[in-house]
Amino acid sequence: MARAGRVARRRRRRGPYSSLFPPAPPTPGHVVTGAEAAAAAAERGLRLAARILLSCALGARLQRGVRSPGRRARSRLRSEVGGTRLRGRAWGRRRISGDSSAQSSLAGVQALLPLCSAPCPGGRRTAVPSRRDSLHASSAKAKKKATETTDEDEDGGSEKKYRKCEKAGCTAACPVCFASASERCAKNGYTSRWYHLSCGEHFCNECFDHYYRSHKDGYDKYTTWKKIWTSNGKTEPSPKAFMADQQLPYWVQCTKPECRKWRQLTKEIQLTPQIAKTYRCGMKPNTAVKPETSDHCSLPEDLRVSEVSNHWWYSMLILPPLLKDSVAAPLLSAYYPDCVGMSPSCTSTHRAASDTSPGKLEHSKAVPSVLVPGMNRYFQPFYQPNECGKALCVRPDVMELDELYEFPEYSRDPTMYLALRNLILALWYTNCKKSVIIIGAGPAGLAAARQLHNFGIKLGISMHKFGERCDLIQEGGRITDPTIDKRMDFHFNALLDVVSEWRKDKTQLQDVPLGEKIEEIYKAFIKESGIQFSELEEQVLQFHLSNLEYACGNNLHQVSARSWDHNEFFAQFAGDHTLLTPGYSVILEKLAEGLDIRLRSPVQSIDYSGDEVQVTTTDGTECTAQKVLVTVPLALLQKGSLQFNPPLSDKKMKAINSLGAGIIEKIALQFPYRFWDSKVQGADFFGHVPPSASKRGLFAVFYDMDPQKQHSVLMSVIAGEAVAAVRSLEDKQVLQQCMATLRELFKEQEVPDPTKYFVTRWSTDPWIQMAYSFVKTGGSGEAYDILAEEIQGTIFFAGEATNRHFPQTVTGAYLSGVREASKIAAF
């Protein structure tokens, strides 16, 4: 009994198909007639069909998340089917030949009755041709018809199968496959799915399978490309990226002036500069044969071309366009190509095998190997990874703030913008000059020639790179132990680091002199650490402080602790310190060639109250002009050497007076022979350790001005408080002090008297009166920007004191002049 119960439960668990199992055998001795067999078969067929229908209905409801009606509902339906009727309620979305009503379901079940078995004469069972195949075929046909999208032709008779792009916002009503890779390519017909690259570029599902499925012919090509992409790029090597990189055809513009239409090439054609320069509509690039007639140009341009100029077109791109064989590739070899707008599949972007790991790519310090003849290796247009701030460079992988302001539409994905920007910079860098022929030597011709020449002047100037070694020599001739020098250099830089941390404290609103702050920090360090420096170490520290005074251009007690290195917040020029062996005069003389320069004509006043500016010199000469550029030193503006009418604004005068006019002096000496070579052993300069703080800044460093050893010239600097000490001395007295210092440093040998010498007097020169500017205590770097502001588009200012990024340098002065020339031209 228990076994019978288990069998019954097992049969119930088998669901609605229990009648598929063999029925119980007939009673022994009973003879089954043909009519009984037919009736039994019909009953079994009816039950089987009803249960199949019930199963399909239940499955459809469960698939839609509808709760099963349960055993009781199925029993009720089973009993009703046994009574040859069905309840009109549908359990699911069962379709038979497109009709889902209860009546059609009943008709379908009744139609199955004669299919199960049919009696034949004589009581035999014989097979009857089944109608299931026709029903299934009818259902499949209806389903296929329901899923197809049709488009009636204008003639109204025929239908064309097609499918729209499913990308939201795509305007392609009837996409065209650009790949044509598979023999079953949909071209412009129907496909089960369109893959969207842009509003005018799609590929069909058949071409997708051709490359993506491992049993297809194109799979090997896809996997080969994928390996190359993965080894060089950073983005995912997706099938869409493969199609865009390898299968997408190029577009080229007709070079005929009256045409200039864009035409699409076939995907087999690789665009080259030669094709782009010579292409005409109808040309076959493979043969480079131009069409004999111009009929091809009369053909209308593809409608997809006009869509590119629409503002929404870029937002519909699935993948950003990547350049192939870009000129910028050699300059950006340290970056992932696809992060700077280039294709990783190109040979020009391939990296060496040792550099392909992500770690090496991220931390590479490679310097571009491509150098343009005549250009310095440090004048590169792009930053390299992990490179410190460098002037006149851009990061190739991000947009600058001003670029984001001008082109906000590329902020989400700047890849295409970066590709074009990097290409333009690389093209300029590799060929920054153009040849121009000017016919005529009149005023217009000469003016044009001069301006074009100034945009890219070629100079062959001898330069010498300074070495890094600088021996510190004590008075008495002893060379300081390098370990002591390194130790005190470390402590000196640590003092400046503490100053930097101090100015980050927003609660410290009061500015103090830099020298005072350094002394305060130094005393606190000695007190807290208990370290005692030796006398020699104290002297070496004074040497480093004298170098800081030389850099600032004044005594440290006059310099702002908060803004003494304000320009370091901006990118600075990279490279080594170099020496112009013939001097700066070669550059200045070259720049002055052919210009109208009137010497000994000091300007006394500038009147810009009228329509034109009137300039008056000290001898009464008057000149008029529409614009005036003032480039006099800061010291002359502070002392009122120039009178302005109307007077300069209070804002500008406050900025002028918040800057300091730094003072340093130099002395140069030429000797009959190079007596210092035996001690410094080829170094480009050597230092003088001051015996006390009072002697700090007096001949702190001696520079070898003739590394070619054709002449024997040394130059030294006077900075800080030492400038005031020598101001009242005669040149010969300054020379005597300098020679006394040299003889102390080279006490073990004879130091000859110089054959020539020269002492600068910049502080007393009436037209200079300074060396370079600095930020005084209480001032800020903003004063440089205020001083550079023009007045009413008429009066302009240039000079190192107007260049916030590069003050205190000849470079800063030169760039400020170029800046103001551009502003004047714009006005």
Sign of CA dihedral 226, 232, 238, 241: negative
516: its two tokens:
């005072």
Chain-centroid distance, C-alpha 825? 31
Nearest to 241 by CA among 179, 319, 166: 319
DSSP state of 315: G
- Is residue 212 one of the residues assigned to a domain? no
Q: Under a CB-based contact definition with an 8 Å cutoff, are residues 661 and 769 in contact?
A: yes
Q: Which residue has the tokens 């009228």?
A: 610
Instruction: Give me the average pLDDT of each 10-residue run along the chain (827 residues).
Output: 47 42 48 56 61 52 44 41 36 36 40 38 41 46 43 48 87 91 91 93 95 94 94 92 93 92 89 89 71 76 89 88 90 90 81 42 43 57 79 88 90 91 88 48 41 47 54 73 86 89 80 91 88 88 90 91 85 74 75 70 87 86 85 90 92 94 93 89 84 90 83 91 91 94 91 94 88 92 93 89 90 84 77
pLDDT of residue 53: 52
- Is residue 570 one of the residues assigned to a domain? yes
Residues 475 and 514 placed together within one structural domain of the fold: yes
Gap between the Cα atoms of 735 and 705, Å rounded: 17
DSSP state of 625: E
- Is residue 331 one of the residues assigned to a domain? no
List all residues 6 or more positions away from 526 whose beta carbon is below 8 Å from its beta carbon. 532, 533
Nearest to 724 by CA among 564, 554, 559, 543: 554
Q: Which residue has the tokens 């007596």?
A: 675
309: its two tokens:
């100029």
pLDDT of residue 271: 87
Q: For residue 42, what are the CA distances in angstroms to 48, 329, 580?
A: 10, 81, 113
Residues 429 and 500 placed together within one structural domain of the fold: no
pLDDT of residue 620: 85
Residues 414 and 479 placed together within one structural domain of the fold: no
- Is residue 244 one of the residues assigned to a domain? no
Torsion angle in degrees (nearest 10) through CA of 622, 628, 632, 635: 90
Q: Under a CB-based contact definition with an 8 Å cutoff, are residues 315 and 325 in contact?
A: no
Residues 478 and 565 placed together within one structural domain of the fold: yes
Domain termination site, one of 94, 125, 142: 142
Q: What is the DSSP string of 777-790?
A: TT--THHHHHHT--
Q: Under a CB-based contact definition with an 8 Å cutoff, are residues 721 and 690 in contact?
A: no
Domain count of the chain? 3
430: its two tokens:
């590799």
- Is residue 413 one of the residues assigned to a domain? yes
Q: For residue 697, what are the CA distances in angstroms to 219, 316, 547, 693, 720?
A: 75, 66, 7, 9, 6
Helix-helix angle 535-552:482-504, to 10 degrees: 50
Phi, psi of 604 (to 5 degrees): -105, -40
pLDDT of residue 399: 93
Residues 477 and 406 placed together within one structural domain of the fold: no
Expressed as residue numbers, the domain containing 531 is 464-576+662-764
- Is residue 802 one of the residues assigned to a domain? no
Residues 393 and 507 placed together within one structural domain of the fold: no
pLDDT of residue 566: 86
Q: How many CA atoms lie within 13 A of 121 on its CB side?
A: 0
Gap between the Cα atoms of 561 and 547, Å rounded: 16
Residues 377 and 514 placed together within one structural domain of the fold: no
Residues 555 and 670 placed together within one structural domain of the fold: yes
Phi, psi of 394 (to 5 degrees): -130, 155
Q: Under a CB-based contact definition with an 8 Å cutoff, are residues 484 and 533 in contact?
A: no
DSSP state of 337: G
Gap between the Cα atoms of 459 and 374, Å rounded: 9
Q: Under a CB-based contact definition with an 8 Å cutoff, are residues 244 and 197 in contact?
A: yes
pLDDT of residue 787: 94
DSSP bridge partners of 202: 177, 196
Collapse the DSSP code of 329 into the 3-class scheme (helix H, G, I; strand E, B; otherwise coil) and give the result: helix
Gap between the Cα atoms of 128 and 223, Å rounded: 54
Domain termination site, one of 123, 142, 161: 142
Give the H/E segment covering residue 579. Answer: strand 578-580
Residues 405 and 545 placed together within one structural domain of the fold: no
**Cβ-based neighbour number of residue 635 at 10 Å:** 23
Residues 415 and 545 placed together within one structural domain of the fold: no
Burial of 611 per CB tally in 10 Å (0-12, 13-18, 19+): exposed
Q: For residue 361, what are the CA distances in angstroms to 241, 334, 369, 753?
A: 22, 6, 16, 57
Cis peptide before 807 (omega within 30 of 0): no
List all residues 6 or more positions away from 560 whose beta carbon is below 8 Å from its beta carbon. 511, 513, 514, 774, 775, 776, 777, 778, 779, 780
DSSP bridge partners of 473: 479, 688
Residues 61 and 118 placed together within one structural domain of the fold: yes
Give the H/E segment covering residue 140. Answer: helix 132-147
pLDDT of residue 585: 77
Domain termination site, one of 142, 174, 206: 142
Q: Under a CB-based contact definition with an 8 Å cutoff, are residues 553 and 664 in contact?
A: yes
Q: Under a CB-based contact definition with an 8 Å cutoff, are residues 704 and 679 in contact?
A: no
Gap between the Cα atoms of 442 and 824, Å rounded: 23
Collapse the DSSP code of 65 into the 3-class scheme (helix H, G, I; strand E, B; otherwise coil) and give the result: coil
- Is residue 819 one of the residues assigned to a domain? no
- Is residue 745 one of the residues assigned to a domain? yes
DSSP state of 685: E
What CATH number should be reported for the domain holding residue 564? 3.90.660.10
Residues 695 and 755 placed together within one structural domain of the fold: yes
DSSP state of 85: -
Gap between the Cα atoms of 358 and 364, Å rounded: 10
pLDDT of residue 384: 81
